[in-house]
Structure 1
């Protein structure tokens, strides 16, 4: 799915059907999350998608058609309550010029990052050690998921970090490394080096497609946002299965990256997710390209 390049009119029947289908699909994810939240029940795998990522369930449920789509019918006027929509003689559509004017920095950065990432071959040699580096030499009470036991215990976890080559290039993972783990990393990713270092094999890079999709809300078609979210959910599961935590209570067996067999299994799964992420990244690049293409020649 990419940006719509020519105006496309959707009748009220057509777009409300798409809207309703989107809401039903989203609530398959947001419903259980909100139920857990109301009951005070934590889910260390799924909560990440609603806490680390700042896209609220109510925003996820709101359907947007994307640029170049005109919504027909009286109900389309409901969209005028939200930013970046305008009414035209044909119906209601995204105000591309206003969106571009206010979000050009975000659009430009997202385009540069995703384009640079897509230009690189996946690197499949990190083996998920970022999660291990986040608990390296930490007392149990300071561990992020302190309610989850460590599969190998604290000493066993530290031994894995010390026996492997840690090579994480993702800034938003590296910044959570413990102070003792940071010098062990082969790279020193920073906020400013993201465009230079992000690569498509990284699990967090694949998960972050969801972030870049919703940061372009409401220009990103909602079906694409949810495609990215569902990929992130599957990737997150692998992320935690390969972590030092015991997630068997949540029905997941470990991917034992401390063993050669586990590392090979992790790399296979990592490669498959990189392939899944490729068309979603391409769609977002198409979206940003189309938006940036509306800049005047002197811009």
Structure 2
């Protein structure tokens, strides 16, 4: 006998199909332009980043899941994959089986989210991680070499050298150029990620999308979509504050090489941290819904209405 989850929400067919259709419409607004650019061989350093840097494929983002502890009435087994099991009234996620395969990964993510949420945010990095990624490189060597740098290579290097780099995020730090790494106050590593991650970091908040899709199908797809939407906005600030000149794409620079630009960046960074905090809380709450309970009474959403 399997342990019952903390609660079971029952969705009738009309309700879950409506939610699925709404999710697909929302995601299509992001996917259609990306797939068109991909088909034409056009690259966009801001809007395509979440599809090229992260491993979640467009079709996976579009596919809807209700999350753990939800029973879908009259669901066709062919519409859902191996992670779902049949019940008398429909289909539900086989949470125990998913955790059996991926429990270690889920625990790692839960620990990271919990520790990050428990720390104060730091807002003094001023986006120097993007500058460290092009430090002492030529235009041909930089990652987005189809787009010019706003300053000369020497001026760019001076910005890096005149500002204390304090990047706490390993997945940003690992893209630093070799000469830039010793300039960072920290030496982040994957092993120390639980100890270094902090909620003011743009990349830590962008990565809420990664943790959401890695937890799928245990978390609702609407939550994955919310994390994706926030990550898109964060990426825009990340690149506006970078050394690249993307004004032609509609992204005016945040000139972090100036006091005014640094103040603008820090204010925006605080705003994103405030918006990311509820998403982190929702991810942890969704994980709590996978924990067993002593009760087996279903929570029938239709009957509550």
- The TM-score, its normalising length taken from structure 2, stands at 0.93
Please name the residue that 1:276 is paired with.
275
Q: Equivalents in 2 of 1:50, 1:269: separation in Å?
A: 24
Please name the residue that 1:16 is paired with.
17
Q: Structure 2 matches for 1:127-166, cutoff 5 A?
A: 127-166=126-165
Q: Equivalents in 1 of 2:104, 2:17: separation in Å?
A: 32
Alignment check: 8 A CA contact 1:110 1:288 kept: no
Aligned-partner SS, 2:71: strand
Q: Equivalents in 2 of 1:77, 1:16: separation in Å?
A: 14
Q: How much has 1:203 moved relative to structure 2?
A: 0.2
Please name the residue that 1:63 is paired with.
64
Q: Structure 2 matches for 1:29-40, cutoff 5 A?
A: 29-40=30-41
Q: Equivalents in 1 of 2:154, 2:292: separation in Å?
A: 56
Q: Equivalents in 2 of 1:8, 1:289: separation in Å?
A: 15
Q: How much has 1:294 moved relative to structure 2?
A: 3.5
Q: Equivalents in 1 of 2:76, 2:8: separation in Å?
A: 16
Please name the residue that 2:298 is paired with.
none
Task: Identify unmatched segments of 5+ residues in structure 1.
Answer: none
Alignment check: 8 A CA contact 1:136 1:158 kept: yes
1:78 correspondence with 2:78: yes
Moved over 3 A (4+): none
Q: How much has 1:78 moved relative to structure 2?
A: 2.5
Aligned-partner SS, 1:192: coil
Q: Equivalents in 2 of 1:77, 1:12: separation in Å?
A: 13
- Hey, which of these two has a bigger chunk of helix by percent? 1
1:160-195 CA-to-partner distances (Å, cap 9, x unmatched) read 001000000100000000000000000000010100
Q: How much has 1:288 moved relative to structure 2?
A: 2.2
Q: Equivalents in 2 of 1:63, 1:124: separation in Å?
A: 35
1:200-235 CA-to-partner distances (Å, cap 9, x unmatched) read 000000000000000011111000000000000000
Please name the residue that 2:228 is paired with.
229
Over aligned residue pairs, what C-alpha RMSD do you find? 1.4
Please name the residue that 1:208 is paired with.
207
Q: How much has 1:252 moved relative to structure 2?
A: 1.1
Q: Equivalents in 2 of 1:9, 1:116: separation in Å?
A: 33
- The TM-score, its normalising length taken from structure 1, stands at 0.95
> Which one scores higher on RCO, CA 8 angstroms, separation ≥ 6?
2
Please name the residue that 2:93 is paired with.
94
Please name the residue that 2:292 is paired with.
294
Aligned-partner SS, 2:172: helix
Alignment check: 8 A CA contact 1:12 1:76 kept: no
Please name the residue that 1:46 is paired with.
47
